[in-house]
């Protein structure tokens, strides 16, 4: 049995960095290769919500002081999840039991930029930027060699693809694994949470994630990011952007609903107009979120999903997170599942490093579980997407009736929320 291990991770995203911390804290040799040239290279999107699953994974992999920093950098924990109809009538409300920042299980919105900055702390010399992975090949003595676009290579005992939804590593390891368009287009934007705007935001949005079921297959999601008990950094502070208070929203519908114009190609103002055109009979406060959005931060994307595949023959190359089980954003669990993978893979690799298990059986067990819960999350996210965008009035009426019933019947509520 060969030990100690040398682990190569492709991708310094949510899952890859969490895994790197876990391995480093157990003394396992690890290197991370990232295509971006610097941490601030790319717009990271607005925010992510870390739930109890993701929080537990981060707690287990990060040094305590770093986890505490992450908790302190999160926005106020969400107090609850509220489903509304497009006139803003309540369909279903769920209170979250943990709403203190110090609660381990709190649902924590955190800015993507802050998450990445914190996850990079303590990994100097481990994360290498500007290294775009292009492919791998078997090396000598059972090693695996990663190749990069700049002509360099890196060799290790095990290679992990944590390179996100468009994973180059997956396309070589599992060429049959597909990621497909769902037909849904999403437009997202954000509204500065200044005093004037705050007064106009629907109150459930200030409490936490708020899915809004509209008519004719249209759907909206809104959630506030606020730091009521923290100090607000000055405008010129480095972390000002990470402590911005705002409401983020996403509006989605089948592509055809947006008419002949291709939303991918529209600028912010035209996207806002296209969304408002689909919201004519919505409550004015919901429309106001779109009207007040900063056009320069409004963008559209085609919602994609991976297609589940059965387990494959395990070798010394594996995957985690979106690189395998990319899912639609309608459950808000993609990053949380990537973090769960990172914690599970860290446990598997540490045992191998200690010489207590061989690599391939340890990875096979990791893959079996990860394929199971990862694709279950993909299916659940897709089912939510289909339910939220059902076009037929009868389907929508049934969904709303089920939510209203669940609002009254706790076991039904728990069943509807399963896996979230």
Ligand X SMILES: Cc1cc2nc3c(=O)[nH]c(=O)nc-3n(C[C@H](O)[C@H](O)[C@H](O)COP(=O)(O)OP(=O)(O)OC[C@H]3O[C@@H](n4cnc5c(N)ncnc54)[C@H](O)[C@@H]3O)c2cc1C
Positions in the binding site for ligand X (CB under 6 A): 10-16, 33-36, 48-49, 132-133, 162-164, 168, 188, 321-323, 329, 332-336, 338
In order of 32, 41, 172, 364, the CA distances from 11 in angstroms are 7, 14, 16, 21
Q: How far is the CB of 309 from ligand X (least distance, A)?
A: 17
Integer-rounded Cα Rg, in Å, for the chain is: 22
Helix H, strand E, coil C: the string for 94-158 is EECCCCCCCCCCCCEEEEHHHHHHHHHCCCCCCEECCCCEEEEEECHHHCEEEEECCCCEEEECE
Q: How far is the CB of 93 from ligand X (least distance, A)?
A: 19
Q: How far apart are CA 279 and CA 215, in angstroms?
A: 9
Q: How far is the CB of 312 from ligand X (least distance, A)?
A: 18
Report the residue number, 93 or 110, with the smaller CB distance to ligand X.
Answer: 110
| Phi, psi for 354 (deg, rounded to 5) | -80, -5
Q: How far is the CB of 53 from ligand X (least distance, A)?
A: 9
Q: How far is the CB of 146 from ligand X (least distance, A)?
A: 9
In order of 86, 150, 302, 345, the CA distances from 157 in angstroms are 54, 22, 37, 14
Q: How far is the CB of 404 from ligand X (least distance, A)?
A: 25
Q: Closest residue (Cβ) to ligand X?
A: 13
Give 20-32 as a DSSP string: HHHHHHTT-EEEE
**Residue 85: which residues within 8 A CB-CB, separation 6 or more?**
91, 212, 213, 214, 400
Report the residue number, 77 or 332, with the smaller CB distance to ligand X.
Answer: 332
Report the residue number, 86 or 331, with the smaller CB distance to ligand X.
Answer: 331
Report the residue number, 36 or 245, with the smaller CB distance to ligand X.
Answer: 36
Q: How far apart are CA 9 and CA 320, in angstroms?
A: 10
Tokens read off for 145:
């060699």
Residue with tokens 């900063």, as numbered in its chain: 294
Q: CA quadruple 191, 195, 197, 199: dihedral positive or negative?
A: positive
Report the residue number, 106 or 338, with the smaller CB distance to ligand X.
Answer: 338
Cα angle value 364/369/375 (rounded, 5°)? 120
Q: How far is the CB of 128 from ligand X (least distance, A)?
A: 9
| Phi, psi for 337 (deg, rounded to 5) | -75, -35
Report the residue number, 401 or 417, with the smaller CB distance to ligand X.
Answer: 417
Three-class SS state of 29:
strand
Other C-beta atoms closer than 10 Å to the C-beta of 307 total: 13
Report the residue number, 126 or 323, with the smaller CB distance to ligand X.
Answer: 323
Report the residue number, 155 or 395, with the smaller CB distance to ligand X.
Answer: 155
Report the residue number, 33 or 67, with the smaller CB distance to ligand X.
Answer: 33
Q: How far is the CB of 307 from ligand X (least distance, A)?
A: 16
Q: How far is the CB of 384 from ligand X (least distance, A)?
A: 13
């Amino acid at each position: 049995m060969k030990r100690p291990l040398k682990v190569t991770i492709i991708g310094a995203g949510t899952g890859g960095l969490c895994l790197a911390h876990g391995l480093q804290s157990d003394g396992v040799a690890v290197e991370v290769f990232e295509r971006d040239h610097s941490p601030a290279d790319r717009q990271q999107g607005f925010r992510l919500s870390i739930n109890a699953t993701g929080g537990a994974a981060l707690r287990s992999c990060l040094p305590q002081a770093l986890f505490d920093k992450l908790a302190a950098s999160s926005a106020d924990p969400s107090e609850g999840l509220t489903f509304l109809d497009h006139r803003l009538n309540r369909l279903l409300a769920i209170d979250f039991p943990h709403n203190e920042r110090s609660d381990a299980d709190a649902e924590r919105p955190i800015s993507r930029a802050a998450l990445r900055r914190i996850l990079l702390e303590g990994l100097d010399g481990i994360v290498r930027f500007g290294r775009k992975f292009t492919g791998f090949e078997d090396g000598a003595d059972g090693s695996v060699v990663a190749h990069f676009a700049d002509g360099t290579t890196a060799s290790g005992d095990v290679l992990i693809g944590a390179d996100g939804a468009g994973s180059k590593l997956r396309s070589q390891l599992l060429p049959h694994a597909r990621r497909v368009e769902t037909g849904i287009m999403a437009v997202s934007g954000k509204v500065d949470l200044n005093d004037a705007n705050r007064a106009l935001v629907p109150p459930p949005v200030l409490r936490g994630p708020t899915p809004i079921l509209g008519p004719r297959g249209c759907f909206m999601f809104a959630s506030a990011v606020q730091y009521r008990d923290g100090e607000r950094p000055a405008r010129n502070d480095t972390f000002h952007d990470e402590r911005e208070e705002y409401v983020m929203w996403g509006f989605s519908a089948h592509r055809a609903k947006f008419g002949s114009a291709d939303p991918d190609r529209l600028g912010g103002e035209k996207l806002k107009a296209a969304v408002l055109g689909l919201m004519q009979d919505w409550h004015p406060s919901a429309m106001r979120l779109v009207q007040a959005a900063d056009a320069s931060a409004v963008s559209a994307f085609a919602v994609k999903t991976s297609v589940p595949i059965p387990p494959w023959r395990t070798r010394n190359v594996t995957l985690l997170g979106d690189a395998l089980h990319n899912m639609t954003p309608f459950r808000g669990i993609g990053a949380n599942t990537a973090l769960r993978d990172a914690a599970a893979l860290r446990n598997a690799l540490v045992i191998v490093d200690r010489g207590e298990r061989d690599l391939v059986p340890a990875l096979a067990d990791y893959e079996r579980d990860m394929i199971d819960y990862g694709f279950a999350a993909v299916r659940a996210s897709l089912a939510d997407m289909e339910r939220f965008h059902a076009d037929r009035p009868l389907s929508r009426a049934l969904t709303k009736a089920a939510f209203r019933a669940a609002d009254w019947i706790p076991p039904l509520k728990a069943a509807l929320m399963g896996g979230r």
